[in-house]
Amino acid sequence: MTGSGAICRGTSANAMATPLRTSELLLIQQAMQEAHGNVTVAARNLGLSRATLYRRLASK
């Protein structure tokens, strides 16, 4: 059993991070649209704090 949480050989962390980041941004954009631009409501719907949502929006 490996259980170390290591990334599979031949897969770079950056290669995995890009699709994950893209998916995260799509979810955030969808939540913002559903909340009609209300960050507080979007954050609540995503299960995030407002500060975390602002930080993720700023890092686009």
pLDDT band at 13 (very low <50, low <70, confident <90, very high): low
Contact 29, 46 (CB under 8 A): no
Cβ neighbour number for residue 32 with a 10 Å cutoff: 19
Q: Based on the structure, what is the number of domains in the chain?
A: 1
Please give the model's pTM, rounded to 2 decimal places. 0.69
- Hey, what are 33's tokens? 């649209």
Helix (H) or strand (E) segment spanning residue 52? helix 50-58
CATH number at residue 43: 1.10.10
Q: What is the pLDDT of residue 33?
A: 98
* Any domain includes 9: no
Range of the domain at 35: 19-59
32 domain-assigned: yes
Residue 31 has pLDDT above 70, yes or no: yes
Domain membership flag for residue 2: no
Please report the pLDDT score of residue 48 as a whole number. 98
Determine, yes or no, domain membership for 42: yes
